[in-house]
Amino acid sequence: MRTIAILEYFDFIRFDIIWNYRELYFRGLLVTIALTAVGYTCGIILGLLFGLGKMSERKWIYYPAKWYVDFFRGTPLLVQILLIHTALIPTLFGHSLGFFVSGSIALMLNSAAYIAEIFRAGIQSLDKGQMEAARSLGMPHGVAMRQIILPQAFRRMVPPLGNELIALLKDSSLVTVIAATDILYAAKVTAGAYFRFWEPYLFAALLYLILTWVCTKVIAYVENRYSTSYIPAKRRRFFMRKHGV
């Protein structure tokens, strides 16, 4: 009863129009999450490759990687989405493959450019002495990379990678221009149906806010988990008993 009383007090807000389109919002939520997840995961893999490319001393690897990063960081994501959906994919396949394929490819290619830079900066910011120390112990280059350089670089990369995830999540709303049924699309449909704008767009904003808040929490956890001084208490106790320290 009490709840209804409160809702009546806010009766100038039409909660019902959101409720009527709840399925569309739910679907939108899933699409936004899926687009971001696919774009980000593939973006990381591709970003690592381009990041390595940008550190290469071979010019035929370095320049394509540099051009790639320059292009995707230097042009608007909106333009990239339209180019891929309306030009690239139809040219390659003869017809459209749907918003999800175009959208996730665009998000992937775009985030890969930023992640490449994050990756390069993470490695190049490490003290040169780390590699020298590893090599002086007789580690081959690959082992030194895996054991010494990458674990430290990944730690430095966690905060900027987290920022990139949040930025990508929000930027994924741009895929509405190719009629992707994401959160923003649901809001636009609702707004068009009722000709009311506060409720749908505020609700969409709220959904994005919840998603970014969850991301922030996950990033904070990962950051903490991989900070330098973290040792699981169990392992530490086991070690101390074993060596009588």
Partner 1 sequence: MIEINNLHKYFGDNEVLKGISNKVNEKEVVCIIGPSGSGKSTFLRCMNLLEDVTDGTITIDGQEITAKKTNVPKIRSQVGMVFQHFNLFPHKTALQNIILGPLKVKKMPKEEAEKKGMELLEKVGLVDKAHMYPGSLSGGQKQRVAICRALAMDPKVMLFDEPTSALDPELVGEVLNVMKDLAKDGMTMVVVTHEMNFAREVGDRVIFIDGGYIVEEGDPNELFQNPQSERLQTFLGEILV
Assess 130 for contact with partner 1 (CB under 8 A). yes
Three-class secondary structure of residue 230 per DSSP:
coil
Count other Cβ atoms within 10 Å, centred on residue 19.
9
Residues 144-183, interacting with partner 1 (CB under 8 A)? 147-148, 151-152, 155
The interface region with partner 1, picked from 7-15, 35-43, 140-148, 211-219 by CB under 8 A, is 140-148
C-alpha 27, offset from chain centre: 20
Q: Residue count of the chain, please give it.
A: 245
What angle, rounded to 10 degrees, do the helices at 22-55 and 59-74 form?
150
Least separation, in Å, of the C-beta of 115 and partner 1? 21
Least separation, in Å, of the C-beta of 57 and partner 1? 15
Size of the site for partner 1 (CB under 8 A): 26
Interface residue with partner 1 among 74, 94, 129, 232 (CB under 8 A) is 129
Interface residue with partner 1 among 30, 45, 143, 218 (CB under 8 A) is 143
The interface region with partner 1, picked from 78-86, 89-97, 123-131, 173-181 by CB under 8 A, is 123-131
Least separation, in Å, of the C-beta of 230 and partner 1? 9
Least separation, in Å, of the C-beta of 222 and partner 1? 15
Residue closer to partner 1, measured from CB, 134 or 186: 134
Least separation, in Å, of the C-beta of 182 and partner 1? 39
C-alpha 70, offset from chain centre: 19
- The secondary structure element, H or E, covering residue 121 is helix 99-124
- Letters for 96-115 (x = contact with partner 1 by CB under 8 A, - = none) are --------------------
Range list of β-strands (E), 39-130: none
* DSSP for 128-190, written as a single string: HHHHHHHHHTT--HHHHIIIIIHHHHHHHHHHHHHHHHHHHHHHGGGGGGGT--SHHHHHHHH
Residues 183-242, interacting with partner 1 (CB under 8 A)? 228-229, 231, 236, 239-240
Assess 245 for contact with partner 1 (CB under 8 A). yes
Measure CA of the first residue to CA of the last residue in the chain; give whole Å: 63
Assess 134 for contact with partner 1 (CB under 8 A). yes
Angle formed at CA 66 by CA 60 and CA 71, multiple of 5 degrees: 130
Residue 83 tokens read as 């180019």
- What is the contact surface with partner 1 in residues (CB under 8 A)? 127, 129-130, 132-140, 143, 147-148, 151-152, 155, 228-229, 231, 236, 239-240, 243, 245
